[in-house]
Amino acid sequence: MSENAPHCYGSVTVGERGQIVIPAEARADLGINAGDKLLVFSRRGGGMLKLMAADKVAEFIEHSIQHLEQIKEAVDK
């Protein structure tokens, strides 16, 4: 299976306080540790949540900005 292929780690149940437990295998594979901050993303009405490590968000944005600058340069030529 491709390293980027989707992987299902199982199911979780939302508790009364809205909490879920991230499966141990997912935490191990993704390097998520106790105390890590995760940001939660979704599209309105999309029925899907996306979790991203907070410390990776700035890295993701910086990478995206670099790509957008490269695209702008190519378009301007």
For 5-50, what is each residue's pLDDT tens digit? 788 999 999 999 999 999 999 999 999 999 999 999 998 887 888 8
4 pLDDT more than 80: no
pTM over 0.85: no
Q: Report the alpha-carbon distance of residue 11 to residue 21 in Å, rounded.
A: 9
Instruction: Please give the backbone phi and psi of residue 64, each rounded to the nearest 5 degrees, phi first.
Output: -65, -40
- Residue 23, number of CB atoms within 10 A of its CB: 14
* Structural domains in the chain, sorted by start: 1-77 (2.10.260.10)
Contacts of 76 by beta carbon, 8 Å cutoff, 6+ apart: none
> Would the CA dihedral through 51, 53, 59, 61 be positive or negative?
positive
Tokens of 49: 């949540």
pLDDT tens digits for 52-73?
899 888 888 999 999 999 999 9
